[in-house]
Chain A
Amino acid sequence: MNDFSYTQAATAKEATALRKDTPTAAYIAGGTTLLDLMKAHLQEHPQLVDINLLPFKGIEQTKDGLRIGALETMSAVGEHPLVVQQFPAVSQSLLLAASPQLRNMASIGGNILQRTRCGYFRDAAFPCNKRVPGSGCPAQTGDNHNLAILGVSESCIANSYPGDFSVALAAFDAVLTLEKGKGKQRQVPLNDFYRLPGNTPHIETVLEPGELIVAITLPNAAHAQSSTYLKVRERSSYAYALASAAVGLDVQGGTIRAARVALGGVGAQPWRSREAERILTGAPATEATFRAAAAAALQGAQPREHNGYKVELAQNTLVRALQQVAA
């Protein structure tokens, strides 16, 4: 790693002011993504601002749902009884990700901001529109077996967010609280937080320079309580998803009253499928319904040479997840 200066900010105000003074500085919480990228020289920062003293902590029951501080770790959130009971899919998405050591370190705010595992992004010897805008995308015709098939563009086919947690957040209508400085906060639904690549794959979220993720709010719902996260990988643990599904169903008398569906591993961003939800809602909870929903979810897929298998894999993953929840 190239050298940098280090400051531990005492308050959010101080942290945002430090970033304003040095716009190329980066915030550090758990550091599991940032230091990895800095060691690989994929990101360089002259200054790191440690935000671990900021009061972005706590997992609290509110009158509408749960509010989770962005500095809570993946372990703490994944194993918290309120999360386990009210949002099983969210708990599972965290505990099926990374390793116990990484989950002890990584903040959930940082998890939301983790970057793609596309091999061309992670090897500075290759061009990459995400890393060097305008340089090209070798993944389009190169090794793309684990890259995205939904929401992709001619500029980029990376799974911009490669993880699991945001997939569950996308399904269950999470809202992020962001803070820009001087205590000014705004709320952004998770589903509006990520940006599709289009011609600007280097702009990945709507987070403004220096803005911090403060908290995540999850609204309570029957379909959230009856939910699961199913993850399919190349090995049985400690790997990114080839395809995954976060699903929740509220089934009464064999009829689906409400449904939530999001897919991971296949989208340029965590992929909420309202097409699938429309087919599920009001329909009988049967395999035929689930198959129709899965077909709808993958209808817009644009596979390349090596990732065509993901269309069927994602459909089967979604069907199995729905069956598990309906059972």
Chain B
Amino acid sequence: MESDLFPPADAPKPEDGSRRSFMKLSGGILGLALAPPLVSQAERLTAYSKVLKGATDITLRVNGQAHTVRVEPRVTLLDTLRERLDLTGTKKGCDHGQCGACTVHVNGQRTLSCLTLAVMAQGKEITTIEGLAKGDQLHPMQAAFLKHDGLQCGYCTPGQIMSGVACVKEGHATTDAQCREWMSGNLCRCGAYPNILAAVRDVAGQTAQG
């Protein structure tokens, strides 16, 4: 087994610290952005401790925009994105956390939206495949999937791309073996894996070159 699959014992990863500081930062920004503002810890806890039963209004921050939707506690983030917010780029594959088609970013970390309750995603920054491009300008990962033909039927592609973006950002795409291992949560029944790998590695190379 290649040693780069695991963090090296001698070199502490910056990952953990930066992730924490990112979450703290985004939490602070969200506190300001969301209505009603989360003024103090005491008020926040009191608000959270109430029992949500039946359809309830919740506010989700998706691709930089706040949306208020009325959902039951059992509704997943995936169904809320697709059925309520018309963000149908995120796909429902297995709906049991086994295929990765529903991958989105929550506070910058790749997450399965099918195993996330919408009520539990409040106060977090959610990014879907629709949030990657800047206007007509594709995200480099989207462009790389086109360049390398990283798909056949395309159903797993949004999840592959969201996972690929995170994989590169985490620093887990530095070799082919490491990239395969850290992309293994996204299945492709067409078997486009060689081209998906090429696309993610291409973007990792661009990032490495600055």
Contacts and interface: CB of A to CB of B under 8 A. Distances in A.
A104 B23 CA distance: 13
A294 interface: no
A68 interface: no
Interface hub of B97, B172, B185 (most chain A Cβ within 10 A): B97
Interface string B44-76: 011011111110000000000000000011101
B100 interface: yes
Contacts of A76: 16, 19
Contacts of A2: 74
Contacts of A98: 185
Contacts of A84: 6-9
B125 to A, nearest CB: 14
B163 to A, nearest CB: 7
Interface stretch (B32-40, B113-121, B128-136, B143-151): B113-121
A124 interface: no
A35 B78 CA distance: 13
B197 to A, nearest CB: 13
A104 B108 CA distance: 11
A6 interface: yes
Interface string A80-102: 11001100100110010011111
Interface residues of B, number: 49
B140 to A, nearest CB: 20
Contacts of A1: 74
Interface of B: 5-10, 12-13, 15-16, 19, 45-46, 48-54, 72-74, 76, 95-97, 100, 103, 109-112, 115-117, 119-120, 163, 166-167, 170, 172, 180-182, 184-186
Given A53-B45, A76-B19, A238-B184, 17 more contacts: A4-B73, A5-B73, A10-B46, A31-B117, A50-B120, A79-B7, A88-B6, A91-B7, A99-B100, A99-B185, A100-B110, A100-B172, A100-B182, A101-B110, A102-B97, A105-B112, A105-B116
8 contacts: A6-B73, A31-B120, A47-B51, A50-B120, A79-B7, A79-B15, A84-B9, A105-B111
